[in-house]
Chains A and B, each alone.
Chain A
Amino acid sequence: MPTIAVIDYGIGNLRSAEKALTRAGADARLTNDPAAISAADGVVLPGVGNFGRCIQRLHDEGLADATRAATISGRPFLGICVGMQMLFESSDESPDVPGLGVLPGRVELLPDTVKRPQMQWNPISTTAPHIVTRDLDGTWMYFVHSYAVTATTAVLATCDYGAKVVAVAGRDQIVATQFHPEKSGRHGMKLLQNFVGQTEQS
């Protein structure tokens, strides 16, 4: 059974991601230990709330370097929600706080024409193939966010919410979802199973 390190940097609800990954067939553990993060077969970076606060917590807990290292280690890596946003270069939510810069692009406020946060289910359209989004084109996922990436070269899937919002970003073994797969019923579970399966193959 592949081991998945769920990076625990002291924010909000991380338990759900751990439970869902366990259900998807992984030996998933919350951890704030850099050694455990570098030893795991796969790494998940969750995140909720404020972008700057999450980045700050990651630094305060001494986990920013381990996180960045995990993204370039060649092992499967999954960012969820603000955990996705943190992989980009910056966010309008906290303009003075640089992101991890693993993926190219900026996180922007959703348009004024729609309610914020987007707090709903929305179907995703895959725009480039990836093992983690396999068989998930057109499936409904649960989104909760006020900020989003709209322009990046690393787009894998989009959804429609006032603008074309990047629902899944990634390149190579790095994947990040704006929605919460751990809260998206059986299709979210399928994505996590795809992720865990990729871990087993690597």
Chain B
Amino acid sequence: MKSVRVIPCLDVDKGRVVKGVNFVDIRDAGDPVELASRYDQQGADEVIFLDITASSERRDTTVEMARRAAEELFIPFTVGGGVRSVEDARSLLRVGADKVGINSAAVERPDVVGEIAAEFGSQCVVVAIDVKRQDGLARGGSDVPSGFEVFVHGGRTPTGIDAVAWAIEVAERGAGELLLTSMDGDGTRDGYDNVLNRAVSNAVNIPVIASGGVGTLQHLVEGVTQGGADAVLAASIFHFGEHTIADAKQHMLNAGLVLRPPD
């Protein structure tokens, strides 16, 4: 039986949650581990921490966060951001992270995907792909056949790489899962780019996490029914207390999806 996962995502800068949160009864709304633990209690299937710290002291802070997360969470969690090597991955996995997310580093040096997979197994390699629709002209130097182009550095830098071809390549190189973010949709609350999700999901045989643009609980359903996603990621609808994870799961169950019910 195939089931869908609901994954809240926390953007973390220097050990603190960015974007802010709005839980009334939380002690420290900026602590990523306390927030993640709350999501665990609400029935989240996994948690993803994305470290957006742009500094060299990043690693120690991130490893410490992963260590604390491993003590508090009894569901799987992924740490992404700044993972560039087998050693970066090792430092996170060793303290208890289940998976590492690789994004720009994979584009710059694709071999790193296979290196981490060979050392620790594909199951812990999540390749994050940030995508924009091309608006006619190629911005990265060449046209991409699918019309979906890979961007790096938080969506600022076009690469000229076709997102669907890239998804196939990283899957062959040993990625265990794809975190597919529509940069067009990110922050719009208009819903996922399900044409993108469908194109990638049909092209690979590894799980795809849909990300970018969720504004309503119905958008989570559409990521699965229209986009063919294996997991749905959202941030702000959960952080701002509009919906609990349990609300989201109940809505998805009511829509006929198969997933682990909330307690």
Mark interface residues in B68-103 (1 if CB within 8 Å of A CB, else 0). Answer: 001100111000000000000000011111100000
Contact yes or no, B121 A15, CB < 8 A: no
> Does A145 reach chain B (CB closer than 8 Å)?
yes
- Which chain A residues lie closer than 8 Å to B71 at the CB level? 19
- Residue from B70, B93, B122 within 8 A of A12 (CB atoms): B93
Q: How far is the CA of A161 from the CA of B205 in the complex (A)?
A: 14
B177 and chain A: residue at smallest CB distance: A119
Whether the pair A116, B205 counts as a contact (CB closer than 8 A) is yes
- A106, CB-defined interface residue at 8 Å: no
Given A115-B207, A119-B123, A161-B1: A16 and B96 within 8 A (CB)?
Answer: yes
Mostly helix, strand, loop or mixed at chain B's interface?
loop
Q: Per-position contact with B for A167-202: 1 when CB-CB < 8 Å, else 0?
A: 000000000000010111110110000000000000
Number of interface residues of A (CB under 8 A): 36
A77 at the interface (CB under 8 A from B): no
Q: Please, what's the 1-or-0 string for B1-31, where 1 marks a CB less than 8 Å from any CB in chain A?
A: 1111100000000000000000000000000
Least CB distance from B4 to A in Å reads 8
User: B3 — nearest CB in chain A belongs to which residue?
Assistant: A120
Is the pair B40, A185 in contact by a Cβ cutoff of 8 Å?
Answer: yes
CA distance A180 to B123 in the complex (A): 13
Q: Which of A48, A117, A144 has the most CB of B within 10 A?
A: A144
A12 adjacent to B5 (CB under 8 Å): no
Chain B, Cβ-Cβ closest to A54: B121
- A120 and B40 form a contact (CB under 8 A): no
With a cutoff of 8 Å between Cβ atoms, the chain A residues found around residue B74 in the complex are 20, 23, 182-186, 188-189
Most chain A CB inside 10 Å of its own CB: which residue of B3, B4, B124 = B3
Residue A127 CB within 8 A of the other chain = no
Residue B260 is within 8 A (CB to CB) of chain A in the complex:
yes
Q: Across the interface, do B123 and A121 meet the contact criterion of CB distance under 8 Å?
A: no
Per-residue CB proximity of B188-214 to A under 8 Å, as 1/0?
Answer: 000000000000000001110000000
> In A32-63, which residues have CB < 8 Å from any B CB?
48-50
CA A121 – CA B76 in complex, angstroms? 11
B123 touching A49 by the CB < 8 A rule? yes
What is the 8 Å Cβ interface bit string for chain A, positions 110-127, against chain B (1 contact, 0 not)? 000011110111110000
Give A180 to B71 CA distance when docked, in angstroms: 16
Q: Which residue of B lies closest to A192 (CB)?
A: B74
Q: Does B51 contact A (CB under 8 A)?
A: no
**Could you list 5 examples of A-B contacts with CB < 8 Å?**
A13-B97, A13-B124, A23-B74, A115-B2, A117-B123
Interface residues of A (CB under 8 A from B): 11-13, 15-16, 19-20, 23, 48-50, 114-117, 119-123, 140, 142, 144-146, 159-161, 180, 182-186, 188-189
